[in-house]
A and B are shown apart, each in its own frame.
Chain A
Amino acid sequence: MSRSLVKFAAIILVIAALLYVGVYGLDFTDKYRIPGITDSDGITQGLDLKGGTVIVFRAATTDPSEEDMDNVVNLLRRRLDFQGYTEASVTMQGSNKVRVEIPDVQDSDTAVETLGATAQLEFKDANGNTIMTGSEVTNASSEYGQTEQGISRSSYYISMEFTPEGQQKFSEATKTAAAAASSNMNYITIEMDGNVLTAPRVHEQIDSDSCIITGEFTADEASALAANIKSGQLPFSLAVDEVKVVSATLGEEALSKAITAGIIGLILVLLFMLLIYRLQGLMADFALMFYIAVVLILLANFHINITLPGIAGIILAIGMAVDANVVIFERVKEELKLGKTVRSAVDAGFNRALSAVIDSNVTTIISAIILWWLGTGTIKGFGITLLMGIVVSMISAIFVTRFLLKQMIGMNVKNIWLYGLNKSDSSSESVKGGKA
Chain B
Amino acid sequence: MFDIVQKKWVFFGISIVLCLISIVSLIFRGFNLDTDFSGGIALTYEVKGEDFSTEDMSALVSEALGAGKAASSVQKSGEDVIIKVGYDKDISDEERTEFSNTVRDSITTALEEKFGKAVYDGAPAEEPEEDVAAAAASAAPEEEAAAASAEPDASAEPAAAAAAVATEAPTTGGNLVSGVRLSSMDDISPSSGRELARSALWMSLLACAAILLYVTFRFEFTSGCVAVLALAHDVLILLGIYSILQISVNINFIAAVLTVLGYSINNTIVIMDRIRENTRNSRKETYGEIANNSIWQTMTRSINTTITTLLTIGMVFIIGVASIKAFALPIIIGIVIGFFSSVFITGPLWATWRDSAVNAKRAAAGSGKSKSKKK
Contact = CB atoms under 8 A, between A and B. Distances in A.
B53 interface: no
Contact of A258 (B132, B258, B308, B324): B324
B93 A240 contact: yes
B21 to A, nearest CB: 26
Contacts of A240: 93, 97, 189
B305 to A, nearest CB: 4
A312 B314 CA distance: 10
A141 interface: no
B289 interface: yes
A51 B327 contact: no
A375 B36 CA distance: 13
A360 B188 contact: no
A245 B185 contact: yes
Contact of B258 (A108, A257, A261, A367): A367
Interface residues of B, number: 97
B207 A433 contact: no
B309 A323 contact: yes
Contacts of A107: 131-132, 135, 163, 166-167, 170
Contacts of B298: 330
A268 B215 CA distance: 32
A242 interface: yes
B318 A370 contact: no
Interface in B282-299: 285, 289-290, 293-294, 296-298
A243 B315 contact: no
A242 B135 contact: no
Interface string B249-288: 0011011001101110111011001100110010001000
B71 interface: no
B86 interface: no
B300 to A, nearest CB: 6
A80 interface: no
Interface in B305-348: 305, 307-316, 318-321, 323-324, 327-328, 331
B211 interface: yes
A109 B138 contact: yes
Interface string A237-261: 0011111111111101110011011
A431 interface: yes
A239 B96 CA distance: 11
A254 B323 contact: yes
Interface stretch (B24-32, B56-64, B198-206, B351-359): B198-206
A359 B273 contact: yes
A254 B321 contact: yes
A326 B304 contact: yes
Interface in A293-315: 308-309, 311-312, 315
B243 interface: no
B136 A109 contact: yes
Contacts of A273: 308
A105 interface: yes
Given A106-B170, A312-B327, A258 B203 contact: no
Nearest to A318: B312
B305 A374 contact: no
Interface in B131-163: 131-132, 135-136, 138-139, 163
Interface stretch (A32-40, A185-193, A378-386): A378-386
A197 B215 CA distance: 55
A75 interface: no
Interface string A254-275: 1001101110111011001100
B315 A363 contact: no
Interface in A304-345: 308-309, 311-312, 315-316, 318-320, 322-323, 326-327, 330, 334
Contact of A308 (B207, B266, B311, B323): B323
Contact of B324 (A109, A252, A254): A254
A326 B262 CA distance: 18
Given A104-B170, A244-B187, A370 B308 contact: no
A432 B306 CA distance: 24
Interface string B167-192: 10011110110000111111111011
A360 B302 CA distance: 12
Interface in B30-69: 44, 46
A361 B211 CA distance: 11
B336 to A, nearest CB: 14
A273 B175 CA distance: 40
B301 interface: yes
A433 B285 contact: yes
Contact of B211 (A330, A363, A386): A363
A242 B187 contact: yes
Given A367-B207, A367-B261, A433-B293, A316 B309 contact: yes
Contacts of B199: 94, 374, 376
B364 interface: no
Nearest to A104: B170
A240 to B, nearest CB: 7
Given A359-B269, A364-B262, A242 B183 contact: no
Nearest to A357: B270
A13 interface: no
Interface string B212-231: 00110010000000000000
A312 B316 contact: yes
Contacts of B113: none
Contacts of A48: 323
A398 to B, nearest CB: 15
A109 B133 CA distance: 10
Interface in A47-82: 48, 51, 56, 58, 60
B124 interface: no
Interface of B: 1, 44, 46, 93, 97, 100-101, 128-129, 131-132, 135-136, 138-139, 163, 166-167, 170-173, 175-176, 181-189, 191-192, 195-196, 199, 202-203, 206-207, 210-211, 214-215, 218, 251-252, 254-255, 258-259, 261-263, 265-267, 269-270, 273-274, 277-278, 281, 285, 289-290, 293-294, 296-298, 300-301, 304-305, 307-316, 318-321, 323-324, 327-328, 331
List the 4 closest pairs (A to B, CB-CB), nearest first. Answer: A433-B293, A367-B262, A265-B312, A319-B312
9 contacts: A106-B170, A107-B132, A243-B186, A244-B186, A319-B308, A363-B215, A365-B262, A376-B199, A379-B251
Given A48-B323, A315-B315, 15 more contacts: A106-B129, A107-B167, A250-B46, A253-B321, A265-B311, A269-B312, A312-B313, A315-B316, A318-B312, A356-B273, A356-B274, A363-B215, A363-B265, A371-B255, A382-B255
